[in-house]
Chains A and B, each alone.
Chain A
Amino acid sequence: MSSHTRIILVCSGKGGVGKTTLTANLGIALASQGAKTAVLDADFGLRNLDLLLGLENRIVYTAQEVLEESCRLDQALVRHKQESNLSLLPAGNPRMLDWLKPDDMQRIVAMLSEQFAYVLIDCPAGVEDGFKNAVSATKEAIVVTNPEVSAVRDADRVIGLLNTHGVKPVQLVLNRVRPKMIASQDMLSVEDVTDILALPLLGLVLEDEQVIVSTNRGEPLTLNGQSSPAARCYTNIARRIQGEDIPLIDPSKEGSGMRDKFRRLMQTKIF
Chain B
Amino acid sequence: MTLRDIINKLLGRQVASASTARERLQLVLAHDRSDLSPDLLDKMRREILEVVAKYVDIDLEAGAVSLETEDRMTALVANLPIKKTINKPESTMEEIDQKQTEIQI
Contact = CB atoms under 8 A, between A and B. Distances in A.
Interface of A: 148-149, 152-153, 156-157, 159-160, 182, 184-189, 192, 196, 198, 265-271
Given A196-B29, A266-B7, 10 more contacts: A149-B24, A149-B28, A152-B25, A153-B32, A185-B5, A185-B17, A186-B17, A188-B25, A265-B3, A267-B4
A196 B23 CA distance: 10
B1 A196 contact: no
Contacts of B18: 182, 185-189, 192
Contacts of A160: 33
Contacts of B29: 153, 156, 196
Interface in B29-69: 29, 32-33
Contacts of B5: 185
Given A265-B3, A267-B2, A153 B28 contact: yes
Contacts of B22: 188, 192, 196
A156 B33 contact: yes
25 contacts: A149-B24, A149-B25, A156-B33, A157-B32, A159-B72, A184-B4, A185-B18, A186-B16, A186-B17, A188-B18, A188-B21, A189-B18, A192-B18, A192-B22, A196-B25, A266-B4, A266-B7, A267-B2, A267-B3, A268-B2, A268-B3, A270-B2, A270-B3, A270-B6, A271-B1
Interface string B62-94: 000000001110000000000000000000000
Nearest to B3: A266
Nearest to A186: B17
Nearest to B18: A185
A127 to B, nearest CB: 12
Contacts of A269: 1-2
Contacts of A188: 18, 21-22, 25
A147 B104 CA distance: 34
Contact of A184 (B16, B21, B70): B16
B19 interface: yes
Nearest to A148: B21
A60 to B, nearest CB: 44
Contacts of B4: 184-185, 266-267
B101 interface: no
A153 B1 contact: no
